[in-house]
Amino acid sequence: MSSLLTNMSAMSALQSLSATQKSLQTTQNQISSGLRVANASDNAAYWSISTTMKSDTSALTAVSDALNLGSSTLGTATSALNSTLTILQKMKADLVTAQTPGVDKTQVQSDISAQQQSLVSVLSSASFNGVNLLDGSQGSAGGTSVSFVSSFARDSAGNTTLGTINLDISASGAQLAGTSGILATAISGGISSGVAGTGSAAAQNFAAGSIMAFDISSATSTDLTNIQAGIESAIKEVTAAGAKLGATQTNINTQSTFVSSLNDAITSGVGSLVDADMNVASTRLQALQTQQQLGIQSLSIANQNAQLILKLFGA
């Protein structure tokens, strides 16, 4: 049946062309954005999952930055600690020299004083981004520990938690300077027990003894022996503190590598959910462009059917 009012062929061709153009627009959007799921309307479930996981990767990136910052902070402290050991070893050598018969202790003290000033300088400048792990100015509970952000996790219920790596920076851990630090307390006991008479000149020189402040100018042989024992004790304690810092830094570096790998894995997983396959999209684009051209031709042919009716009237 031929009708002037209703052209079924044209209507069918138009519907097919509209569907093709809609698919073509979707494919073009995928190619331009690189995403198969760009909005919730594309796939609500995948869009929701990918949005959550993308926020987690941002948090993991922040954790990675925090770990790098922590590693740098520990590296600065370790460098200062190594310098401290070098200075203590020089002091030890000076004390051995001071116990040699005929040596002027005042002259030896001049070199020790220079080492003490270097020690103060090293420990006061062992700071990275305002954080000094060796002087007792950092940490919780009176400066006994400090925490580094190490992980970010989300459980099945959607709850998130931050993990930390803790470092003991107390006087028995890594704290060197300060009134309760290793270097302030290492020789005070030895000095007190080695000085004869609390009112003597030597007792006054070594009162509140500290490796960063002692003076051997008027020290007795017993005093020198006790001070040397204190230096030995300090070297042992500083070495232990170095091992603690080194172990923590290794832990942080290992965690940093894991967080980086985890971030890559999550990013890859999100990509598999929402990224467009460009090979498939480009092939589909060509096919849809061909369908569009054929649809236009089909609609054109359908519209020409009305012209055939005129010929029936001899037009």
| Overall residue count recorded for the chain in this entry | 315
Q: For the chain, how far is it from start to end, CA to CA, in angstroms?
A: 20
80-84 long-range contacts, CB within 8 A, separation 24+ = 80/122, 80/123, 80/125, 80/126, 80/134, 81/126, 81/134, 81/176, 81/238, 81/241, 81/242, 81/245, 82/242, 83/118, 83/122, 84/119, 84/122, 84/123, 84/176, 84/183, 84/238
Contact 74, 245 (CB under 8 A): yes
Q: Higher pLDDT residue, 287 or 277? A: 287
- At 219 the pLDDT is 83
Report how far apart, in Å, the C-alpha atoms of 43 and of each of 39, 177, 195, 261, 288 are.
7, 60, 83, 28, 22
- At 33 the pLDDT is 75
48 closest CA partner among 282, 218, 216, 273 = 273
Residues 6+ positions from 38 with CB-CB distance below 8 Å:
29, 30, 274
81 closest CA partner among 122, 120, 132, 33 = 122
Reduce the DSSP state of residue 165 to 3 states and report it.
strand
Chain segment 295-310, per-residue pLDDT in tens? 788 778 777 766 666 6
Residue 196 above 50 pLDDT? Answer: no
The packing angle between helices 221-274 and 44-98, to 10°, is 170
- At 140 the pLDDT is 52
Q: 167: which strand partners? A: 146
- Proportion of the chain above pLDDT 90, given as a percent: 27
pLDDT tier, 84 (very low <50, low <70, confident <90, very high otherwise): very high
Q: Higher pLDDT residue, 275 or 53? A: 53
**CA geometry: angle 9, 15, 21, nearest 5 deg:** 135
Q: 148: which strand partners? A: 165
- At 200 the pLDDT is 43
Residue 258 above 60 pLDDT? Answer: yes
CA distance 293 to 244: 73
The highest-confidence range among 5-14, 93-102, 275-284, by mean pLDDT, is 93-102
pLDDT tier, 88 (very low <50, low <70, confident <90, very high otherwise): very high
Chain centroid to CA 54 = 18
Report how far apart, in Å, the C-alpha atoms of 134 and of each of 75, 99, 141, 157, 250 are.
12, 31, 15, 41, 18
Q: Which two tokens stand for residue 114?
A: 């220079």
CA distance 179 to 143: 12
Contact 187, 235 (CB under 8 A): no
Q: Which amino acid is at 192?
A: S
pTM of the predicted model as reported, rounded to 2 decimal places = 0.73
Average pLDDT score over the chain:
82
Chain segment 129-142, per-residue pLDDT in tens? 888 888 877 765 45
- At 96 the pLDDT is 92
CB environment 1-32: b (16+ within 10 A), e (fewer)? eeeeeebebbeebbebbeebeebbeebebbee
Chain segment 221-254, per-residue pLDDT in tens? 888 888 888 888 889 989 999 999 999 999 999 9
- Proportion of the chain above pLDDT 70, given as a percent: 85
